[in-house]
Amino acid sequence: MSAPPIPYRTDGDLSLLSNLSIAIIGYGSQGHAHALNLRDSGLQVMVGARPGSSWDRASEAGFEVCPVPEAAARADLIALLVNDEFQLDVFKESIAPYLSAGKRLVFAHGFAIHFGFIQPPPDIDVILVAPKGPGRLIRKLFSEGLGVPSLVAAHQNATGLALDIALAYAKGIGGPASGAIETSFKQECETDLFGEQAVLCGGMSALVKAAFETLVEAGYPPELAYFECLHELKLTVDLMHESGISGMRKAISDTAQFGDLTRGPRLIGETVRAEMKQVLQEIQSGQFAREWMEENRAGRPLFNALTEEGQDHPIESVGEAVRALMPWIQNSKKI
Ligand code: NDP
Ligand code: MG
């Protein structure tokens, strides 16, 4: 099967941003990388923050930092890079009052717009530039002259240049070697949520825990269970990241590959697939988004209880002891 061509655009024109005043709202994972990379791309960047550690870090990095309403009032392009669940409050209180016609509002994830929590006035551009990587990687690759690709989309195109601005912004944060894939807020948002729920975070952590528990309940030492079910995961994932599933299979033993080919599909059988479809349906219907916003309004009772329960699982204490045997892991830590 030959793959269809990817609408990959490398023609972002930075000069479209050169006369715009850019405000990065939030200086967290994405915010710090966008602000630093856009500034190093030669653009005028200020940071909108509230007093606290993000404000101080942006200020130490040499940015002009001001309260969010002031940044929103002064900027031509406003990138809203606070946590998704707080975007509506920040937008309502500190941005909406300053959105005059022709301004551009940029998001790094489609959540608040696609699920209708934020409804911007019709006379501004509403743009998505969603880099496919965390902020630290975006900054690191930019500094090395490489780049993380972004997904770009226009939800509102008041100026007629919304997608061109998105491509330019993607180039500004990704660097000259980067490109962007055109998509929609809906596609970016729903696939992003599904990926993190089914595989990257939800599916993977549940799979690892279930396998760890299976070995420990069968009487095997927890340290061995940790090595086999969690520690070595990275080795396989790195191979898949570099060369795909078939590439990974070339690097593992034939015994491992035979077990993979014959046992994997049994584990992820019809029941799991049916549940995946259900999880996707809850994303598409907006049920998940509403549940998450309500959870935040209620002070995160379930989020906090489940996080605590996860921290108390034996895999965490065993993991701490096992990782202490390998001090080099600390040196390559991502967080
Ligand atoms: P972080 O949690 O890393 O950072 C959030 C930032 O928002 C912090 O600087 C925080 O400041 C600030 N903030 C929160 N509330 C307010 C407020 N009321 N007023 C002012 N500032 C506030 O978030 P991310 O960078 O992870 O996420 C930002 C966006 O990027 C989201 O839409 C996310 O979905 C998207 N995204 C994230 C990716 C990732 O890998 N992290 C990847 C691609 C997209 P303070 O220190 O004051 O709390
Ligand atoms: Mg993602």
pLDDT tens track for 303-325: 999 999 999 999 999 999 999 99
Element (H, E) at 248: helix 233-251
| Contact by Cβ (8 Å): 114, 189 | yes
Q: 98, 77, 102, 71: which is closest to 17 by C-alpha? A: 77
Please give the structure tokens belonging to residue 30. 């994405």
pLDDT at 59: 98
User: What integer is the mean pLDDT of 226-239?
Assistant: 96
Using 50, 70 and 90 to split pLDDT, how confident is the model at 1? low
Question: Would residue 125 be called left, alpha or beta, if left means φ above 0 and alpha means ψ between -120 and 50 degrees?
Answer: beta
pLDDT at 335: 59
User: What integer is the mean pLDDT of 281-310?
Assistant: 98
Percent of the chain with pLDDT over 90: 93
Return the number of other C-beta atoms located less than 10 Å from residue 79's C-beta.
27
Give the span between the Cα atoms of 28 and 191, in whole angstroms: 23
Give the span between the Cα atoms of 43 and 104, in whole angstroms: 15
Q: What pairing do the DSSP bridges indicate for beta strands 8-9 and 180-182? A: antiparallel
The C-alpha torsion from 297 through 300 and 302 to 304, rounded to 10°, is 180
Sequence-distant (≥ 6) Cβ neighbours of residue 211 within 8 angstroms = 225, 228, 229
Please give the structure tokens belonging to residue 43. 């653009």
What is the SS3 assignment for 22? strand
The angle subtended at Cα 85 by Cα 83 and Cα 90, nearest 5°, is: 75
Sequence-distant (≥ 6) Cβ neighbours of residue 288 within 8 angstroms = 193, 197, 282
Element (H, E) at 131: strand 125-131
| pTM, two decimal places | 0.94
pLDDT at 7: 85
Give the span between the Cα atoms of 10 and 318, in whole angstroms: 46
Give the span between the Cα atoms of 296 and 290, in whole angstroms: 10
Ligand 1 center to residue 39 CA distance, Å? 19
Nearest Cα residue to atom 42 of ligand 1: 134
User: What integer is the mean pLDDT of 127-135?
Assistant: 96
Nearest Cα residue to atom 1 of ligand 1: 28
Question: What are the DSSP calls for 62-129, one per residue?
Answer: T-EEEEHHHHHHH-SEEEE-S-HHHHHHHIIIIIGGG--TT-EEEESSSHHHHTTS----TTSEEEEE
Q: Which atom of ligand 1 is nearest to the CA of 107?
A: 32
Mean pLDDT (the chain) is 96
User: What integer is the mean pLDDT of 288-294?
Assistant: 97
pLDDT at 334: 63
Using 50, 70 and 90 to split pLDDT, how confident is the model at 264? very high
Is residue 3 scored above 90 in pLDDT?
no
Is residue 4 scored above 90 in pLDDT?
no
Give the span between the Cα atoms of 218 and 91, in whole angstroms: 52
Ligand 1 center to residue 259 CA distance, Å? 41
Residue pointed to by tokens 């409050």: 89
Please give the structure tokens belonging to residue 272. 């799991």
Would you say the CB of residue 229 lies under 6 angstroms from ligand 1? no
Is residue 331 scored above 90 in pLDDT?
no
pLDDT digits (tens, 9 = 90+) for 25-50: 999 999 999 999 999 999 999 999 99
CA 161 to chain centroid: 25
- Hey, what long-range contacts does 112-119 have (CB within 8 A, 24 or more apart)? 112/80, 112/84, 112/87, 112/88, 113/155, 113/185, 114/185, 114/186, 114/189, 114/190, 115/189, 115/286, 115/289, 115/290, 116/286, 117/87, 117/88, 117/289, 117/293, 118/87, 118/88, 118/91
Nearest Cα residue to atom 19 of ligand 1: 50
Return the number of other C-beta atoms located less than 10 Å from residue 168's C-beta.
25
pLDDT digits (tens, 9 = 90+) for 175-226: 888 899 999 999 999 999 999 999 999 999 999 999 999 999 999 999 999 9
pLDDT at 285: 98
Question: Which residues are tagged catalytic?
Answer: 109
pLDDT digits (tens, 9 = 90+) for 52-68: 999 999 999 999 999 99
User: Nearest bound ligand to CA 90?
Assistant: 1
pLDDT at 330: 81
